[in-house]
Amino acid sequence: MPVISHPNLPSLERLESSGLVIRTEDLEKKSYSKHLHIGLLNLMPDPAFQATERQFVRMLACNDEFLVHLYPTSVETENRSDRFKTYITEHYNEIDDFQQRGYDGLIISGANPSQKDMTKERFWDPLIEVFEWAESNTTSIMCSCLATHAIMKAKYEVEREMRDEKAWGIFKHQLGEDHPLIIGLEDGFNGPHSHYYDFPIQAIESTDLKILASNDFAGIYLAASEDSKLVMFQGHPEYSENSLLKEYQREVNSFVNGIRDDYPPLPYDYFPSAAVGKLEEIKGSILSKPSEIKLDDDLISEIDIEWQGASKKIYDNWLQFLIQS
């Protein structure tokens, strides 16, 4: 299932050769019997903004039976560079125009938290406004990480709690109740996490949401309403193989620049053993002479990306639900 973005997104050009993306001008060259229209509310900061586009597109292109039309939009989240302000103006749908359409589904990305109280974030009011609009104008809303935290607070009055230790890395998950979104998955499937906050299991169980996958340490990976109209990820199935590598690099450089006090630990069960020794050498060098780093993808050339199969299965189940609704 290729994806076509309205308007075309320059960052997706690298996916065209693999057949995951087609351009609007090529749409007439092939006919598709089934079409889905998906909105994407991208709240990510500049360094991860375009990578987030590609991550979700790879997930949406998990089935070749039909064509997915993607409609990206954004709202004010934080101070952006002039480059990305221009990028959004030229290549994203303005939010008022975006809300003139109805969609089969809406994906709300995570965001960059700057404070404990989410209601004080710049994105809070526009995010909740879009969510409430989407409840009446989409078949299903899929939330990612911090968006899940925001909606849990706004819709269910469930507060997230700071963890003693960040859940960061690749974790195995236990399946919960039977649900269409986890058809085809097996107990122990892998999935990425990256979050400092979490929800008590009892708080989730007090809502109408069903816990579909979780890890004893990392917490909830996926929860959803029984009718699949609300899908809540605390994990990151959309992550590509180098997403945690780039996050680790940003955290190390934050330490170098005095933004964080401690040197970041390695993401759990992510780096292959051959890379761990190299990263320890880099750590020793930085502690003796601090300087920013740029980590090469060669460090993860041997990682097991088995989690992507499970991730695509969940997305495929979601898209099948949208087609049938």
List active site positions: 145, 236, 238
**What are φ and ψ of residue 111, in 5° steps?**
-145, 175
Closest to 213 in 3D by CA, of 304, 306, 127, 313 = 313
**What are φ and ψ of residue 121, in 5° steps?**
-75, 150
DSSP annotation of 228 reads S
Q: What is d(CA 232, CA 146) in angstroms, rounded to the nearest whole number?
A: 10
| Inter-residue contact 113 to 121 (CB < 8 Å) | yes
Closest to 107 in 3D by CA, of 36, 166, 177 = 36
269-303: buried (b, 16+ CB within 10 Å) or exposed (e) per residue? ebbeeebeeebeeebeebeeeeeebebeeebbeeb
Q: What is d(CA 109, CA 38) in angstroms, rounded to the nearest whole number?
A: 13
Strand runs (DSSP E) across 7-160, as ranges? 21-22, 35-43, 67-73, 103-111, 138-144
